[in-house]
Amino acid sequence: MRYRLAIFDWDGTLMDSIARIVSSMQVASREAGWGELEAEAVRNIIGLGLPEAIATLCPGIDAERAELLRARYAFHFVEGDTGPMRFYSGVEAGLDRLRGRAGQRLAVATGKSRRGLDRIFRESGSGGWFHASRTADETLSKPHPRMLEELLAELDIEVGEAVMIGDTEYDLEMARALGMDRVAVTWGVHAPARLSASRPVFTAQSVPELFDWLHG
């Protein structure tokens, strides 16, 4: 067993939800009166908690408009776009393979809200796959390492026995701050060159490659 605990980011790492996040944020910004947001700018903040994402996208936004934007984003992400979101091909089989190993622990560390993550857990039937999870609204947003510290404490795992897997520098820098090993995946939002600056121990070019490495 390479690591006793594998901690996964969600959006852009396990689930192909990037397009919905971008479109929902763009519509919400227009409805809140902020104007048009470039798709690449929205892609860049995926992984942050929603308040931090809005502050980054809309510098100087007042509290009332920020709350309206947040509410409209939540509406569009949950109700306005009814198309299904799916796991990347191979994710379900890869997680199932890891779950079959004695002593293996799996966790999620995400910029989603608790309400949002629990809804996805229910809709996808995946909540029982993970031994613990942390969301940005119940602790501190990435790249602060607080959510990783809490997961390690909850599961009684030493930092050297754990790895963080993600598609953004926020994921990798969160782990780097603790001295935790980190794995970059290249099918999400941040480019490989950007991810490499965080010195991942491995960079996966495909989902099967990731799970083969974790299982090694």
Higher pLDDT, 81 or 31: 31
| Per-residue pLDDT, 77 | 87
Give bridge partners of residue 87 from the DSSP assignment.
Answer: 15
Enter the pTM of the model: 0.92
Q: Which residues of 8-43 are buried (b: 16+ CB within 10 A; e: fewer)?
A: bbbbbbbbbbbebbbbbbbbbbeebebeebeeeebb
Residue 104 exposure: Cα atoms within 13 Å on the Cβ side? 20
The proportion of the chain whose per-residue pLDDT surpasses 90, expressed as a percent, equals: 88
pLDDT tens-digit map of 73-99: 988 888 766 667 899 999 999 999 999
- My answer on whether 111 and 152 are in the same domain is yes
Phi-psi region of 39 (alpha: psi -120 to 50; beta: other; left: phi over 0): alpha
Inter-CA distances, 101 with 4, 23, 142, 171, 215, Å: 10, 38, 29, 25, 9
- My answer on whether 163 and 210 are in the same domain is yes
pLDDT tens-digit map of 184-193: 999 999 999 9
- My answer on whether 41 and 91 are in the same domain is no
- My answer on whether 108 and 135 are in the same domain is yes
User: pLDDT band at residue 2, thresholds of 50, 70 and 90?
Assistant: confident
Using CA atoms, how far apart are residues 116 and 86, in angstroms rounded to an integer? 15
What residues make up the domain containing 70?
A: 18-80
The proportion of the chain whose per-residue pLDDT surpasses 70, expressed as a percent, equals: 97
* Number of separate domains in the chain: 2
- My answer on whether 52 and 131 are in the same domain is no
| Per-residue pLDDT, 83 | 65
Mean pLDDT of 26-45: 94
Q: Which of 80, 104, 120 is the last residue of a domain?
A: 80
| Per-residue pLDDT, 82 | 60
pLDDT tens-digit map of 92-121: 999 999 999 989 999 999 999 898 899 899
Those residues whose C-beta lies under 8 Å from the C-beta of residue 24, and which sit 6 or more positions away, are: 73, 76, 77, 80, 81
Using CA atoms, how far apart are residues 39 and 153, in angstroms rounded to an integer? 37
What would the two tokens of residue 152 be? 């390690």
